[in-house]
Amino acid sequence: MEAVFAILVGLFFAAGIYLMLSRHIIRILLGVVLFGNAVNLLIFTNGRIMREVPPIIAEGLDVPATAVANPLPQALILTAIVISFSFFAFLLVLAYRAYQEIGTDDTDGMRVAEPADDGLPPMGY
Amino acid sequence: MAVQGEVVDKTAAMIAGPVAAADWLVIAPVLLPIVAGAVLLMIRHNIRWHALLALVVHAAMVGTNGLLLQRVLAEGPVSMTMGSWLPPFGISFTADALGAAFSLTASVVALVCCAYSVRDIDAAGRRYGFYPFLMLMMAGVSGAFLTGDMFNLYVWFEVFLISSFGLLILGSEKAQIDGATKYAILNLVGTTLFLIATGYLYGTFGTLNMADLATKAGQIGEAAPLMTLATLYLLAFSMKAAAFPLNFWLPASYHTPPVITGALFGGLLTKVGIYALLRSLVMIFAAERLVLAGVIGWVAVATMLIGALGALAQSDIRRIAGFLVISGVGIMLAGIALGSNGGLSGAIFYALHSMLALSALYLLGGLMRQRGGSFSLHSLSGLYGASPFLAALAFIISLAVAGLPPGSGLWPKVMLVRAALDVGAWQIAAAILLSGFLATIALGRVFILAFWRERAGDKATTAGVMSVSGCCALVVLVLAMLAMGVLPETFIRLSTTAASGLLDASAYVHAVFPVGSGS
Amino acid sequence: MQTLIFRTATPFLTCLMLMFSVFVLLRGHNEPGGGFTGGLIAASAFAIHGIAFGVPVVRRALYFHPMAIAGFGLFASAVAGLPSLLFGMPFLTGLWSAPSFFGISVDLSTVMVFDIGVYLVVVGSFTSIALALEDREHD
């Protein structure tokens, strides 16, 4: 099962990075989402995948009697999902605003902050 | 919950003994801005109280950070684990000399910037939420400096990043939105790399507590791909610190927001990246850092020179400052590459200096704009005649940023050059000296053009008046930098203590795990 | 949105979702649920109400600005960690008491205050994002 997930994570990463290499903001954002989900799946796989065995330690024992999935990575993912969700909501609004204000979603056309014709500083008085 | 009557023995999982109220100093610098930020969010439209509350809380943060640093220097690292869970199960906050010194300097810079902002941020900016964002960003920065848990560090990174987005688009001008898009996407990728590394870290070690990691990293040895982990952390934190191949987001964005935001970002945020590099590569992955030292060294050289050369090519003061931030990051990376006590303490001292100096440079740009009406070297002129006071401040700040006496940048550079020559790393020593020379030219040109050049024909452009709060803020920063430059012994001792605390983490580990070591 | 069925059903749906969100919030102490999930359900309720009746109606019904609600939640969560200072325990240590009202024992704790804070943060911030996006549709 872990091997299948590892391949899946690899596919997610590949697709995410491919999209992020695009010049268009919206594709970059979709790439960022895939990238974030790839990381979440990766951490999830890291914590062992197992069904129907609750990670509860029986009385009188210090460690679980059978192999169980580690719940901590899932807690980490939950935090990461919340954070990446709010990030994505912000980025979406920002990209939309950028499209409205600058009139393009092509990153090559986004030269407002760093204008190409800025010129060198004066060389003397 | 336990069933009534049944007694559960909690001592195996929870801290039983009482915790001294003084230990709360570790959490106070984080808790204060969070509570203040929450209160400010609630009274968002009642803008009269914003600046006052922010100033009071920043002063309280400086106070608690000062007490914390004093306590750490007297008694060694202080640690507190949240929710009474025994470390490494609970999230620890651990302050050693490094974290406390960074946190104190950061809060001083924030207090000064806050004083500057009283006049600089108008009612619209306040209603939009400048002060709540500022408080939450400071919570994130202090949290990053004081936490003792790798995943918690990630959370604090995200806290200050999200708040910094809010600060960055304050005003919503075209250039700001353009710059913020690049800043946001690249930083998001950087923190995602951080998350990947942390996921692997937990998979490898089964713990996220830094003290626990520091003890276990040496024992695992070849059994796990620690090199991969260390490289991922290097990549993620270099991106946050704006080291050479990953630095392009910084000059694209830092000059777009109000100058006060630029001062906070340029002063504080890249240093969080440097701090995280020190913590992860020097304290936890010491053996792996040794292997990576050559790479870090060349990255440092490239960052220093690219930053200084970039500063030479700019005509906007804020963009010059942005490139000088990058150049400074290279100098701190050089210390991490050297890895010796001298190199690390030089890097730490430089980071403390750079927080003050680069914030001062941005604020100076703001005052020059107030007096001369522009940020551009093409139109600024005759400021020396207009305000000798500002010229004096600008002169000292330029010396400090370029690393010339009596500014604060001199001594850390001396320490770094000496440490580099000790191990024969001539390229690092040469790059530090060369980048200092280039920075001197860049800032000297600002001084010549903006201050000495005769005033251009139309006098209307130089009619501006500087704000009193802004001048006071800058004077405080300049005095702090002069103190660092003229009386460096205290700061050298402080950074040496911090560096030895990183190289030998036993005191740090002992603070988290009082009985024995490890879990 | 002007669908009759949707507009008729929405008030009931909103009420149900809000009640359910409180249920999920309180259930979260010992079973699956909690402040975050509950907050998301409540935020969706406000979002649906906004789709049916327009954003101004929701803003008036909420009375407080969503960000102020989030701010109060953050305040409650942070303050929930403070009482442990008085008992000499680290920040955020859970303190429990079980006073009895009319013969029924009710478990009260600082953990619950924290969770209610999380609930309010999530309600406030997600409602504010949802309402901002819904506002934009009509531009």
Nearest-by-CA chain C residue for B14: C93
Segments of chain B scoring below 50 in pLDDT: 1-5, 460, 516-519
Which sign does the torsion angle of CA B57, B59, B60, B62 carry? positive
* Predicted local distance difference test score (pLDDT) of residue B518: 41
Interface of C with A in 23-42 (CB under 8 A): 36
Tell me the H-state helices in chain C: 4-27, 35-53, 55-62, 66-80, 110-137
Q: How many other CB atoms are found less than 10 A from the CB of residue B290?
A: 11
Residue B23 in contact with partner chain A when CB distance is under 8 A: no
* Predicted local distance difference test score (pLDDT) of residue B394: 92
Reply yes or no on whether the pLDDT at C119 is more than 90.
yes
Q: E strands within B356-395?
A: none
Q: pLDDT by residue (tens digit) across B98-152?
A: 999 999 999 999 999 998 888 888 888 888 888 999 999 999 999 999 999 999 9
* Predicted local distance difference test score (pLDDT) of residue B516: 47
Residue B160 to residue B139: CA distance in whole angstroms: 7
Reply yes or no on whether the pLDDT at A45 is more than 70.
yes
Of A46, A80, A97, the CB nearest to B203: A46
Q: Is B519 among the domain residues?
A: no
Give rounded-to-5 percent helix, strand, coil for chain A: 60, 0, 40
ipTM of the predicted structure?
A: 0.91
* Predicted local distance difference test score (pLDDT) of residue A120: 79
Residue A51 is given by DSSP the state: S
Q: pLDDT by residue (tens digit) across B189-207?
A: 999 999 999 998 988 888 8
Query: How many contacts, defined by CB atoms under 8 Å, are there between A and B?
Result: 112
Helix, strand or coil for residue B245? helix
Contact B81 C90 (CB under 8 A): yes
Residue B82 in contact with partner chain C when CB distance is under 8 A: yes
* Predicted local distance difference test score (pLDDT) of residue B151: 92
* Predicted local distance difference test score (pLDDT) of residue B280: 92
* Predicted local distance difference test score (pLDDT) of residue A78: 87
- What percent of chain A is predicted at pLDDT more than 70? 97
* Ranges A78-82, A109-113, B476-480, most confident: B476-480
Which sign does the torsion angle of CA A99, A105, A107, A110 carry? negative
Q: Is B518 among the domain residues?
A: no
Q: How many CA atoms lie within 13 A of C67 on its CB side?
A: 15
* Predicted local distance difference test score (pLDDT) of residue B9: 64
Q: Is B14 among the domain residues?
A: no
- pTM to 2 decimal places: 0.92
**Which of C77, C118, C133, C134 is the best mutation test for A, with the most CBs of A within 10 A?**
C133
Residue partners of C87: CB distance under 8 A and separation at least 6: C93, C95
Residue B512 in contact with partner chain C when CB distance is under 8 A: no
All domains in chain A, ordered by first residue: 2-51+68-104 (1.10.287)
Higher pLDDT, B356 or C33: B356
Residue ranges per structural domain of chain C? 4-137
Reply yes or no on whether the pLDDT at C138 is more than 60.
no
The total domain count for chain B is 1
Average pLDDT value for chain C? 86
Instruction: Among A94-108, B359-373, B469-483, C42-56, name the one with the lowest average pLDDT.
Output: A94-108
Q: Is B15 among the domain residues?
A: no
* Predicted local distance difference test score (pLDDT) of residue A82: 85
The domain in which residue B240 lies consists of 21-512
Place of tokens 């951080």: B194
* Predicted local distance difference test score (pLDDT) of residue B517: 40
Q: How many CA atoms lie within 13 A of C110 on its CB side?
A: 18
Residue A86 to residue A33: CA distance in whole angstroms: 12
Contact A113 B256 (CB under 8 A): yes
Q: Is B169 among the domain residues?
A: yes
Residue B470 in contact with partner chain A when CB distance is under 8 A: no
